[in-house]
Amino acid sequence: MRIASSQWFRQSMSSLLEQQAAAAKTQQQLASGKRLLKPSDDPVAATRAVDVTRAVEKLAQYERNGVQSENRLRLQETAVGGSLDVLQRVRELSVQANNGTQSNDTRGAIAAEVEQLRDALLQQVNMKDGTGKYLFGGFGEDKPPYMSFAGKAFPVLENAAGLRVPGLLDGSGQLVPATLVAGEVVVDASLNPADFTPSANGQRQVDIGPSATLADVDPALSVYQQGTGSGRRDVLADVQALAEGLRKPIVSDSTFPVPTGSLTQTQFASLMSDGLSRLDSHIGHLSDVRTGIGTRLNQLDVQTNIRAESSLQLQTTLSSLQDVDYADAIARLNQQLTGIQAAQQVFTKVQGLSLFNYL
């Protein structure tokens, strides 16, 4: 079969260009560290790499969720711990005030400190997180869950129109809208309780793993109120009641009539007994809340370890799909360069062929 010189030329040139293109691709793989430079290099591996990459991104989002939840829970733990310290101090002062050697003046001084401690509790309830949101605000994290009204602290109730009013616990343990009448905070009969809900309402569930969720910070009412039905109590209201009782003068049981705004010794003893019992109940409740926080933090630690292991496995799989094997690529590049050199030498010889060389 007759083969023209032009055909030899085209074949040699085509072979040289193909080998140069293959070497250039290998060099690009080595430079980028990626075996897959475009999906067509390995369609199956490219599709699988996309799926694995999405799984890695989801794990990264779970990690961010976990970090944010951990920060908020540790802040709640700090707030609850501070509230426990405050209540322990209130209890110490109550025991001190219940001593028969105390006078009306010294009890008044103790009452002043108890009121300051109530203000400290209010600060804990209305604490903000690192983003400026109210930590115990629940779904209403843009607004404080408690308000200072008429010198006292009350949970906030809000209606659909955005009206915010103080809430009082009625005899059934329900929060109802209140108002100020003659210097006293009383139930506002002009407002329908059904139209109002607590500002600190709801608790977010945060995804921290493919099949794991975690309860975010507890809303204020589940932390600073406890009990059910008629036995439901508000810790700030109970501390305030103690302070008010300590400010009242005490008269003997034989005094009749009892002066307005005064307490008999028996009434004062009953007030302090009830107050101490309620304080112990609140302290126990807050201790349980702190225990629950610790449980959730432990759950976060477990999920962190699970995510780390899963992420490592996925990264290993992703690397096997798209990363270049440097040893193999370098050996292949050397072979390709050798082939290019040989092709260039052959091309030079073919290009120089002529019948005139043999005449």
More confident residue, 10 or 307: 307
For residue 163, what are its two tokens? 């009206």
What does the pLDDT look like over 22-68, one tens digit per residue? Answer: 666 666 766 666 665 666 566 766 677 778 788 888 989 999 999 99
Measured in whole angstroms, how far is the alpha carbon of residue 265 from the centre of its chain? 50
Q: What is the mean pLDDT of residues 176-181?
A: 93
Q: What is the mean pLDDT of residues 188-205?
A: 91
Cα 146 from Cα 125, distance rounded (Å)? 7
Is it the case that residue 3 has pLDDT exceeding 60?
no
Is it the case that residue 354 has pLDDT exceeding 70?
no
pLDDT at 85: 97
Cα 32 from Cα 333, distance rounded (Å)? 15
Residue that has been written with the tokens 């001593």 in this structure? 99
What does the pLDDT look like over 213-257, one tens digit per residue? Answer: 999 999 999 999 999 898 999 999 999 999 999 999 999 988 889
Cα 154 from Cα 268, distance rounded (Å)? 25
Q: What is the mean pLDDT of residues 74-100?
A: 95
Element (H, E) at 152: strand 152-158
Under the banding of pLDDT at 50, 70 and 90, the label for residue 12 is: low
Q: What is the mean pLDDT of residues 292-314?
A: 90
DSSP-derived secondary structure letter, 238: H
Could you give the 3-state DSSP secondary structure of residue 235?
A: helix
Is it the case that residue 329 has pLDDT exceeding 90?
no
Under 8 Å between Cβ of 138 and 220: yes
